[in-house]
Amino acid sequence: MDPMAAIRETFFVECEEQLGELERGLVALENGTAEADTINAVFRAVHSIKGGGGIFALEDLVRFAHVFETSLDGLRSGTIEVDSAATAIMLRAADVLADLVRAARDGSGHDHGRVASASAELAALTGAATAQAPAPVDDLDDIVFERVQLDTTPTPAPATPAPLPEARRTWVIRFTPRAEMYAHANEPGLILRELARLGTIDVRLDADALPALDALDPEGAYFSWTIHIETECDRAQIRQAFEWVEDHCALDIDEATDPSAPPATDTDEGLRALLARISQEAAEAPAAAPPAGAPIPAPPALPSASASPVAVTDKRAEQATTIRVDLQRIDRLANLVGELVINEAMLTQHLTAAGLARAAGLANTMESLSQLTREIQHSVMAIRAQPVRSVFQRMPRLVREVAAMTGKTVRLICEGEETEIDKTVIERLSDPLTHMIRNAIDHGLETAQTRIEHGKPAEGTVRLSAIHRSGKIVIEVSDDGAGLDRARIRAKAVEKGLIAADAPLTDDETDNLIFMPGFSTAATLSDISGRGVGLDVVKQSIHSLGGRISIASQPGRGSTFTLSLPLTLAVLDGMVVSVAGHVLVVPLGPIVETLRPAPGQTHRLGAQSRVMALRGGYIPIVDTGVLLGFRGQDETPEQVVALLVEGENGDRIILEVDELQGQRQIVIKSLEANYGAVDGISAATVMGDGRVALIVDVDALIAASRAEIPAAGRSPTPRHEPETLLTR
C-alpha cells in the first residue's frame, strides 16, 4: 500500500480512538467523575486530531478542531468554568467533530450549518471567558496551510522563488555565537552548510578571542565568523538559516558596500578546502559526510556505556502491551487452527480404528494433544475478540440525539463494556443496538409529565449491559418505561392476520409478537425508531449472527430486550445428522426442538405435501433427503427424526432426517471459496473421519419448501410438550 494511504488509515483509526477518549472525558466532566488528567486527555484528543488532519490538509476538520481546542484550552487553564452548560456545548462539538472526521474519511459531505453553529457556540464560550480576546475568526488566520503551487503557465516556473533572478548580490554576515548556542546543540559548521545552499560563500574565522589553554572553558564560546555570500536571496532568506540561533548569537547581515571587493585573503588553505567541501556536499547531497567543522568547543558528550541495555529492553517490553495486526493474518491463523482441530480429530479416529487408542503412552499423548489443540483454538478466538466498548461508546450520542428529538430526559447506563466478543460480531451489532435503544426511548419511556404522574423520577433510564453466560454473550437493553401494551399488540397481530383471534398466547409469546415481520405497534411510525424498518429486521440480523433475541416486559415497570450471541463466527454449534447415507450439520440456532413423530401425527396434504399436527397447529414437513436430491419422494424411511426449525423470518417447518448423531462444535469451511455456492447449503466442515459434511442453510431450505408446499399454519408454538426429545 502507498505509505501515505497507510498513514491515512492509521489516522482515521486513531481518530476513532481519540473521539472515544474525548467523549469519555467530557462525560466524566459532566458527571463530576473526572480525574486530574481528564481535561488534559480531552485536550490532547482534539489536538491530535487537528495535528493529523493537518497532514492530510483536511481544512474543515482542522479549522473546527482548532476552535474546539481553543475552548478546551480555556477549560484547561480555568478561564472557562466546567459547568453543565459548557460540557453540553463540548459534547455537541464532539459529535460535530466526529461527523467531520467521518465525512473526511468517507469523502462525503457534512452539515455546514451544524458545524457553524457548534463553532459559534464554542466561540461564544471562549469569548465569554476572555472578553477582549480577538474574535475567533482571527484565530483561524493562524493556521497556515502549505499549498502545492499549480503552475498554469505553459513554461516551467523558475526553480528558485527569487524575485529578480539576475540580482545576485553580495552580503556580509558577522556571526558570533554565544555559549547557549552550543548548549542547545547548534553547530556553526551546519549553519554554514545551510548558508552554502543559498549561494557562493566565503568564510573567515576570527579566533582572536581564544584564550590560552589553561584559561579555556570547554563549553565557552570564543569564535566568530565573517561570511561573504553571493546570492539571489534577500536578507530574510539569509536570516532563515539562523532562525534557530537568533537568540543565542550576535548576528549582523549587511549588503556589501563594494560587491567587487575580493573576499578575505587571509583565509588559510585548510579552511578554504573545507569550504569547498561544504559547498560541494551541499550541492550534491545534503546528508553527506560531516564537514568536520571549524574548531567548535562542543560540550563533552560522554559515552553512554554506563547504561545497561538489558534493563532498558525489559522496560520497553513492559510498555508494549498491545500490537496491531492485520485482520487477515489472524483469520489465516484461525483457519490453520481449524485445520489442526480437524486433523487432530482424524488422528484420533485412525488410532481408534487401528485399535491403538488405548496403547500405552499413546492415550496420554493424544489426550494432551487434544487439550493443547483446544487451548490454541481458544487463544486464537481470543485474539479476534474485542471489548464491546467500541459499539457501546457510540450509544451515548445516540441517546442524546433521540432524547432531544422526543423531548424526553434520558440517562444511559452502560455495563460490562469490557466484555469481549468476536470482532465480526461487534461490527454487525451496531445497527440492531441502535434500533433497540431508539425503540426503548421512543416507545418504552414515557414523557417526563406521565412519569411524574405515575410516581417515577422524571428522568428515564436506559440500561445497556453485556455479560458472558455459558459460552454465549448476552446483551440486554432495558428501560424503566411503561412496558409493552399487550392488549394493543394482540389486537394489532390479529388485525394483521399474524395470529388467530382466539389463539391462546402467554404474556411472553404476546410480547415476542413484535418481532414478527410486518408488525409495528406505533400507530404513526415516528422517524426515530421507525426509519421504515421493524424489529423483525433486528431479529433477522441477530439470527444471521447465529444469535437469538427476545423481549420481556412488565407493565408499568419497563421492558428488556435480550440478545444472546455466539462468541465467534468461525465455530458453530451444530447438530450432526445423517440423511440417505450423507452426513449433514444443522446449525443449532434455528432448531426449536427435535422430536420423533408419533404414528398418526403426520397427515398428507394433497399428493406430495405432508404436515404434522403439533399442539393444535399444522407444520409443513420436508424430507431433507428429498429436498436436497439425495433420494426420491417415495424413499422416505419409516423411522425418521423430526427437527422443528424456525427461520429468520419466524417461519417454521419440520425437517425430517434419518438419524441424529449428536451435537458438536464444528469448524466452518467456506464452500464458495473452495468449491462453489450450492443451494440449500451454507458451508461445509470436515469430520473426524475425513469426510466432508455439508452445513444446511435452514432459511434456504424453508424458502425452497415454500416453493413446493403451500403455506400452512405458522402460529408461534409453545414448548415443553410430552413428545419432545430435546429442547434447546
Footprint of other proteins (CB under 8 A): 3, 6-7, 10-11, 13-14, 37, 40-41, 43-44, 47-48, 51-52, 54-55, 57, 142-146, 182-187, 189-190, 194, 243-244, 247, 286-291, 293, 298-304, 306-309, 311-313, 315-316, 319
**Comparison of 54 and 620: residue with beta carbon closer to other proteins:** 54
Closest distance between other proteins and the C-beta of residue 315, in Å? Answer: 5
CB of 20 vs other proteins, minimal distance in Å: 14
Length of the chain: 728
Instruction: Name the nearest CA neighbour of 563 among 390, 681, 419.
Output: 419
Q: Which is nearer to other proteins, 293 or 713 (CB)?
A: 293
Nearest Cα to Cα of residue 422 among 565, 247, 211 = 565
Nearer to other proteins, 43 or 171 (CB): 43
Helices (H), 609-666: 624-627
Q: Which three cell numbers stand for residue 77?
A: 487553564
Smallest distance from other proteins to CB 237, Å: 14
Least gap, CB of 10 to other proteins (angstroms) = 5
- Count CB-CB contacts under 10 A for residue 562: 14
Residue with cell 482424524: 346
Rounded least distance, CB 300 to other proteins, Å: 8
Task: Identify which of residues 184 and 604 has a Cβ nearer to other proteins in the complex.
Answer: 184
Element (H, E) at 385: strand 385-387
Angle among Cα 649, 653, 656 to the nearest 5 degrees reads 145
Question: To the nearest whole angstrom, how small is the minimum distance from the Cβ of residue 554 to other proteins?
Answer: 46
Residue 82 Cβ, how far from other proteins at the closest point, in Å? 20
Minimum Å gap between C-beta 148 and other proteins is 10
Which amino acid is present at 412? Answer: L
Nearer of residues 144 and 354 to other proteins, judged by Cβ: 144
| Nearest residue (CB) to other proteins, 245 versus 614 | 245
Cα(245)–Cα(161) distance, rounded to whole angstroms? 24
Please tell me the distance from the alpha carbon of residue 685 to that of residue 546, in angstroms, as a whole number.
17
Q: Which residues pair with 469 in a beta bridge?
A: 472
Indicate the DSSP class of residue 716.
Answer: P
Contact criterion met (CB below 8 Å) for 119 and 44: no
Give the nearer residue to other proteins in terms of CB position, either 265 or 322: 322
Cα dihedral: 510, 514, 518, 521 (round 10): 100
The burial of 499, by beta-carbon neighbours within 10 Å (0-12 exposed, 13-18 middle, 19 or more buried), is given as buried
CB of 70 to other proteins, least distance (A): 10
List, in order, residues 6 or more apart from 572 with CB less than 8 Å away.
546, 566, 585, 587, 588, 665, 666, 668, 685, 695
Q: How far is CA 371 from CA 172, 201, 664, in A?
A: 81, 76, 16
Residue 101 or 584 with smaller CB distance to other proteins: 101
* 87: amino acid identity, one letter: T
- Judged by phi (left if over 0) then psi (alpha if -120 to 50, else beta), residue 454 lies in alpha
Contact 120, 46 (CB under 8 A): no
* Beta strand spans in 406-547 (E): 410-415, 420-422, 460-469, 472-479
Closer CB to other proteins, 146 or 502, in the complex: 146
How many helices (H) does the chain have, and how many strands (E)? 24, 23
Eight-state DSSP code of residue 440: I
3-state DSSP percent of the chain in helix, strand and coil, to 5? 40, 20, 35
Rg, the chain, Cα only? 38
Residue (1 or 711) nearer to other proteins, CB: 1
Nearer to other proteins, 18 or 176 (CB): 18
Q: Which is nearer to other proteins, 7 or 458 (CB)?
A: 7
Cα 650 from Cα 715, distance rounded (Å) = 9
Closest CA to 333 of 372, 367, 378, 365: 378
Which C-beta is closer to other proteins: that of 76 or that of 557? 76
Of 666, 707, 471, whose CA–CA distance to 577 is shortest? 666
Q: How far is the CB of 393 from other proteins (least distance, A)?
A: 19
Measured from the CB of residue 590, what is the shortest distance to other proteins in angstroms? 43
If the CB atoms of residues 13 and 467 are measured against other proteins, the closer one turns out to be: 13
* Separation between Cα atoms, residue 680 and residue 647, nearest integer Å: 13
What distance separates the 2 farthest-apart alpha carbons in the chain?
122
Distances (CA, A) of 614 to 406, 617, 722: 45, 5, 11
CB nearer other proteins, residue 320 or residue 707 = 320
CA angle 636, 638, 642 (to 5 degrees): 75
- The whole-angstrom separation of Cα 594 and Cα 406 is 46
CB of 266 to other proteins, least distance (A): 27
